[in-house]
Amino acid sequence: MTDSNTDIAVVSLAQPLETIADDLGRSFREYGFAVIRDHGIPQELIDRAEALAKEFFALPDEVKRAYHIPGGGGARGYTPFGTEKAKDAKVHDLKEFWHVGRELPDGHPLAEFMAANVWPSEVAGFRETFGELYGAFEEAGGRVLEGIALHLGLDRGFFAPTVEDGNSVMRLLRYPPLEGAEAEGAIRAAAHGDINTITLLLGAEEAGLELLTAQGEWKAVAPPEGALVVNVGDMLDRLTNGRLRSTTHRVVNPRGDAAYRARYSMPFFLHFRPDYMIETLPSCIDPAHPDDHPAPISSHDFLMQRLREINLA
């Protein structure tokens, strides 16, 4: 993490975007990941959200399961252990999570694509805190997308209308403590890629996050305290014809005492609008191979196709 010319970039959103766009873009091209400091999400809000997430996950199983929505694909509310598995994985991941999505007014043209949120009445301040955090994540993600647009030679506001009222989802995640000798180095979440546009992750300092490099080696992502880890999802990879890479990544258990603790993190899966057509950017098509790019597909159709592959649809 020392030399940002050869490693995963660590950039500050307090800098003018023009000065960090290419460092960000290079990191996304090479690794599919970058680390963001000064992201603008207040630490007080993060601390409050983490405390409420822990309070929810500490509730009795039967209380949590009352918020599980069968047939809902895990899009909202609670998903218990052993539901989601990575594409092509043989076993389900060892994690439980809660999803908060966008709330659209009745009659909104995109309302049919977004289920209503559910809120646990047992945890005071849950709705207000996570509503606020959702907005803060969205704002930080918008700034990152402006930097990506500049790197791609687009107008800096290119992505704003593509993600406006998008089906973005915030996940509160708990990996339970593992027991026994095999806990050290165990896989918490199997190798997978993200479906969405970009993912912003809080809590990666302890998450044991690793990405698969182009050389086929696992590389640890170790951000400074309080930083955001951002990675490219399959939708952005498709839009850029693979120029910005959606990289396979996984969560491994650390070694030593930390292997036996529960772990918490909060990823925000930023999505295009459901009706946005993911059509390869002209600048990302090789003139020598003008047909060598994926066919256009709507963001919603692409999402549904992929959710079926990971057991959530």
pLDDT of the residue at 3: 39
Distances (CA, A) of 304 to 258, 274, 308: 36, 10, 6
* Whole-number pLDDT of residue 88: 55
The secondary structure of residue 187, as a DSSP letter, is E
Question: What's the confidence (pLDDT) of residue 290?
Answer: 84
Instruction: Give dist(CA 227, CA 241) in Å, integer.
Output: 29
pLDDT of residue 230: 96
Interacting residues of 184 by C-beta distance below 8 A, sequence separation 6+? 253, 254, 255, 256, 259
Residue by residue, pLDDT tens for the chain (313 residues) are: 333 346 999 999 999 999 999 999 999 999 999 999 999 999 999 999 999 999 999 999 999 999 998 876 778 999 987 655 555 555 445 789 999 999 998 899 998 889 899 999 999 999 999 999 999 999 999 999 999 999 999 999 999 999 999 999 999 999 887 777 666 667 777 788 899 999 999 987 776 889 999 899 999 898 988 899 999 999 999 999 999 999 999 988 777 777 778 888 899 999 999 999 999 999 999 888 888 888 999 999 998 888 777 765 4
CB 253: neighbour CB atoms within 10 A?
21
Taking the C-alpha atoms of residue 260 and residue 161, their distance in angstroms, rounded to an integer, is 44
Domain 10-310 has CATH 2.60.120.330: yes
208: nearest Cα among 225, 226, 188, 227 = 188
Asked if residues 21 and 150 have their Cβ atoms less than 8 Å apart, the reply is yes
Gap between the Cα atoms of 206 and 134, Å rounded: 22
Q: Extract the tokens encoding 227.
A: 């930083």
Per the CB < 8 A criterion, the answer to whether 178 and 165 are in contact is: no
Q: What is the pTM of this model?
A: 0.91
Please write down the HEC assignment for all residues of 29-63: HHCCEEEEECCCCCHHHHHHHHHHHHHHHCCCHHH
Task: Say whether 191 sits in a helix, a strand or coil.
Answer: strand
Residue 249: what pLDDT?
Answer: 92
Dihedral angle over CA of 254, 255, 256, 260, nearest 10: 50
